[in-house]
Amino acid sequence: MRILVVGAGFAGAVYARTLAEAGHGVTVIDKRPHIGGNAYDFADTNGVRVHLYGPHLFHTKLQRVIDWLTRFGSFIPYEHKVRAILPNGKLAPMPINLDTVNAVFGTGYSTAAEVEAHLARVALKIAEPRNAAEHLQSRIGVELTDLFFRPYTKKMWGFDLEDMSPSVVKRIPLRTDRVDTYFASDETQMLPRDGYTALFASMFDHPGIELGLGTGFSRDMLKQYGFCFNAMPIDEYFGFQLGDLPYRSIRFHVRTEMDGAAWEAPVTNFTDSGPYTRETNWDALPRHRVEATGRRTITREEPCDYRDNGMERYYPVKTADGRYQALYEKYRALAEAEPDMEFIGRCGTYQYLDMDQVINQSLAGAERWLKQQ
C-alpha cells in the first residue's frame, strides 16, 4: 500500500521505517525544510553542534527502544547535569539533591536519611494534592517550592503552580543522595555520536521511503494514498472547529562567546522571576565541538505562548482542571470517525512525550496496524 506520513520527527520516522521494511511504499512530508522534527541539530558557524529546538538528551528504561534506535547509528554514553543559580549567585544541583538542600539551608548533611528527615519536617501534610503547588509542598515544603518551582513555573507555563496539574511537576525527580545526574532513574542515558540529524538520515535511508521536505499537509494529498499517519496538530487538521489546543513555545536567544572557563554543567536554570528559564552551553555536551574556532555558542530560552512564536508548538498545556485534555478527547472522537487516518506523535495526540516514549508508542502503533492488514 502507498502510505503518507506527515512529520519527519521521531513518530514519522519510526512509522515510515517500520512500514517500508514491511514492504509498503511510504512518502514522508514535513513543512519544515529539514528532517528530525524537534530533535534536529546542525553544526553552526562557531563549529558547535546546536539543537535548533532546545537540548535533546536521550534517556530510557526501554530496551526495545535502544535495540531499534542503535540500528541507525552509534551512541555515546552521556549523563546530563543541570545547575540552578541561587539568589546569592551560587550554583546548586538540579534536580534537588543532598547538596542542593545543604546549599539552600546552610546545613551540613552527609546522608540521605538526614535529608529525608529534613524534607519530612518541612513538608506540608496534604493527603490528596489538588494541584502542582500542593504536590510540591507535600514533598519538599514551601521554601524549596517557592525557590525552585514558583517563578520557574510562572515563566515556563504562564500559570501559577496552583493552576497547574500535579502531573507537570511529577516528572521532575527529587534525590536525597549526592547523585547529580538529571535522568539518574533511567539506566540508559546517551547521545547519538554524530548528532540526531545523521541518525534521522539513516532511518529514512530505505528504498521504500520518499521524502518531501518543505511540504505542508493538504487534504487533497490523501487521494493518492491508502492510509495516512499524521503527526500534525490534531486541532489544526479539523480546522480548530472545537477550539484551539494551546501549547507553550520557546524563543531561543543565541549568542556567541569567546571560549572561556569550563561550565559546571551544560545547562544552567534561572530561578529568578526574569523572562528566561535556562541556558545551554552547547560545547559542554560531548562531541558537540565539531571544529576548533575559539568561539562557543550559548542559547537562552524564553518561554511564551505559541501564538507569539510563529505557532511553534512545544509543550501541551496541562491545567489542574484538565480542560484542554477534555477538548483533546473531543478531537480524538472526531478522528476515530476519520477513515484511513491515524494521528501520531506529540501534536497528533496532544501529549508531552520524551523521545523514547514516542519511539515506543510508534513502534507499537505501526506493528498493530501491520497486523490488521
Ligand X SMILES: Cc1cc2nc3c(=O)[nH]c(=O)nc-3n(C[C@H](O)[C@H](O)[C@H](O)COP(=O)(O)OP(=O)(O)OC[C@H]3O[C@@H](n4cnc5c(N)ncnc54)[C@H](O)[C@@H]3O)c2cc1C
Contact positions vs ligand X (CB under 6 A): 6-12, 29-32, 37-39, 53-58, 216-217, 231-232, 250, 314, 345-346, 353-356, 358
Rounded to whole angstroms, how far apart are CA atoms 70 and 365? 20
Residue 103: which of 117, 87, 114, 119 has the closest Cα? Answer: 87
H or E segment at 267?
Answer: strand 267-270
Distances, alpha carbon 365 to alpha carbons 42, 58, 150, 360, in Å: 30, 21, 38, 9
Of 137 and 268, nearer to ligand X (C-beta) is 268
Which backbone phi and psi does 190 adopt, to 5 degrees? Answer: -155, 165
Q: How far is the CB of 370 from ligand X (least distance, A)?
A: 19
Of 176 and 299, nearer to ligand X (C-beta) is 299
Rounded to whole angstroms, how far apart are CA atoms 354 and 213? 24
Of 102 and 360, nearer to ligand X (C-beta) is 360
Of 19 and 39, nearer to ligand X (C-beta) is 39
3-state secondary structure (DSSP) of residue 20: helix
| C-alpha of 139 from chain center | 24
Which backbone phi and psi does 186 adopt, to 5 degrees? Answer: -100, 125
Of 217 and 324, nearer to ligand X (C-beta) is 217
* Residue number closest to ligand X, CB atom: 37
Residue 347: which of 324, 368, 320 has the closest Cα? Answer: 324
Q: How far is the CB of 280 from ligand X (least distance, A)?
A: 10
Of 53 and 144, nearer to ligand X (C-beta) is 53
Distances, alpha carbon 327 to alpha carbons 92, 114, 272, 315, in Å: 39, 45, 33, 16
Q: How far is the CB of 361 from ligand X (least distance, A)?
A: 9
Q: How far is the CB of 49 from ligand X (least distance, A)?
A: 15
Q: How far is the CB of 302 from ligand X (least distance, A)?
A: 12
Of 69 and 147, nearer to ligand X (C-beta) is 69
Of 144 and 359, nearer to ligand X (C-beta) is 359
Q: How far is the CB of 66 from ligand X (least distance, A)?
A: 13
Q: How far is the CB of 45 from ligand X (least distance, A)?
A: 22
Q: In what order do the strands lie in the sheet with 278-281?
A: 91-94, 82-85, 267-270, 278-281, 295-305, 247-258, 315-316
Does the N-terminal peptide bond of residue 275 adopt cis geometry, omega within 30 degrees of 0? no
- What's 262's DSSP letter? P
Q: How far is the CB of 183 from ligand X (least distance, A)?
A: 8
- Relative to beta strand 341-343, strand 227-230 is parallel
Of 10 and 75, nearer to ligand X (C-beta) is 10
For residue 326, what is its C-alpha cell? Answer: 477534555
For residue 79, what is its C-alpha cell? Answer: 549523563
Q: How far is the CB of 33 from ligand X (least distance, A)?
A: 10
| C-alpha of 40 from chain center | 12
